[in-house]
Amino acid sequence: MLSTKDGFVEILEFTHFARIFKFNRTPEIGKKKEISHEIKVSVVMELV
């Protein structure tokens, strides 16, 4: 996927599968820990 936005070019986008912990905000004051199995990764270059 090759797209440009605000001087950046995205040259690669993929999903990395790994077991990680994410902390999401709750409506109350605090955070909730969840287990996730994927990370979205984008490789970009800045145009100067």
Rounded to whole angstroms, the Cα distance separating 37 from 6 reads: 31
Rounded to whole angstroms, the Cα distance separating 34 from 22 reads: 5
pTM over 0.85: no
Name the phi and psi angles at 39, rounded to 5.
Answer: -130, 130
- The one-digit pLDDT tens for each residue of the chain (48 residues) are 555 557 888 899 999 999 999 888 888 888 888 999 999 999 999 888
Q: Which domain holds residue 31?
A: 3-46
Q: Which residues contact 3 (CB under 8 A, 6 or more apart)?
A: 9, 10
Number of structural domains (the chain) is 1
